[in-house]
Amino acid sequence: MPVIAAIGTAVPPHTIAQTEVRDFARTLFGDAFRDIDRLLTVFASAQIEKRHLAAPIEWYTQDHSFADKNRLYIEQGVTLATTAIHNCLDQAGLQPEDIDHLVFVSSTGLATPSLDAHLFNALGLSPNLKRTPIWGLGCAGGAAGLARGFDLALAHPDSKVVVCALELCSLTFLRADRSKSNLIATSLFADGCAAMLVLGTEAAKRHPSLVAGAPRVLASRSTIWPETLDVMGWELQEAGLKVIFSKDIPSIVESKIRPQIETFLQESGLDRADMKRFIAHPGGMKVLQAYQEALDLPDDLLRHSRDVLRTHGNMSSCTVLFALARELQDAHQAGEHGLLLALGPGFSCEQVLLRW
Query: Which three-class secondary structure state does DSSP give residue 160?
Result: strand
CB 139 within 8 A of CB 94: no
Instruction: Give the tens place of pLDDT for each residue, 209-228.
Output: 888 889 999 999 999 988 87
What does the mean pLDDT of the chain come to?
Answer: 92
Span 36-69, pLDDT tens digits:
988 899 889 889 999 999 999 999 999 999 999 9
Residue type, position 51, single letter: R
Kindly indicate the confidence band of residue 299, based on its pLDDT and cuts at 50, 70 and 90.
confident
Q: Which CATH superfamily is domain 215-355 in?
A: Thiolase/Chalcone synthase (3.40.47.10)
Please list, in sequence order, all residues whose beta carbon lies within 8 angstroms of the beta carbon of residue 325, skipping any fewer than 6 positions away: 7, 8, 9, 194
CB distance 85 to 8 below 8 Å: yes
Q: Is the pLDDT of residue 280 over 90?
A: yes
- At 220, which amino acid appears? S
> Which CATH superfamily is 3-209 part of?
Thiolase/Chalcone synthase (3.40.47.10)
For the question of whether the overall pTM of this predicted structure is more than 0.85, the answer is yes
- Are 3-209 and 215-355 the same fold in CATH? yes
Q: Is 151 exposed, middle or buried (0-12, 13-18, 19+ CB in 10 A)?
A: middle
The residue that leads in pLDDT, 229 or 328, is 328
Identify the pLDDT of residue 330: 95
User: How much is the pLDDT for 9?
Assistant: 98
Which pLDDT belongs to residue 185?
86
What are the Cα distances from residue 171, in Å, to 121, 147, 231, 278?
Answer: 24, 27, 21, 30
Report which secondary-structure segment, H or E, holds 286.
helix 285-295
Containing 240, the helix (H) or strand (E) segment is strand 240-245
Radius of gyration of the chain (CA): 20
Q: What per-residue confidence (pLDDT) applies to 212? A: 85
Q: Would residue 88 show up in a list of annotated catalytic residues for this protein?
A: no
Three-state DSSP class for residue 292: helix
Least confident of 32-36, 80-84, 203-207: 32-36
Q: What is the DSSP string of 178-210?
A: -SHHHHHHHHHB-EEEEEEEEE-HHHHHT-HHH
- Tell me the pairing of strands 101-106 and 14-17: unpaired
| Contact status, residue 308 vs residue 325, Cβ threshold 8 Å | no
Pick from 20-34, 40-54, 94-108, 110-124: least confident: 20-34
* Mean pLDDT (whole number) for 131-145: 95
Kind of pairing between the strands at 101-106 and 130-135: parallel
pLDDT reported for residue 184:
84
Q: What is the pLDDT of residue 105?
A: 98
Q: What is the pLDDT of residue 75?
A: 97
DSSP 33-48: -TTHHHHTHHHHHTT-
pLDDT band at 318 (very low <50, low <70, confident <90, very high): very high
Which of these is catalytic: 139, 164, 169, 349? Answer: 139
* Edge-to-edge order in the sheet of strand 191-199: 130-135, 101-106, 160-168, 191-199, 3-10, 216-224, 348-355, 337-344, 275-280
pLDDT of residue 253: 75
Q: What is the pLDDT of residues 79-99, one digit of tens each?
A: 999 999 999 999 999 999 999
Peptide bond into 33 cis (omega under 30): no
What single-letter DSSP state applies at residue 314? B
- Calpha distance 35→43 (Å, rounded): 14
Provide the residue ranges of all domains of the chain, joining segments of one domain with +: 3-209, 215-355
Closest by CA to 218, choosing from 151, 272, 271, 263, is 151
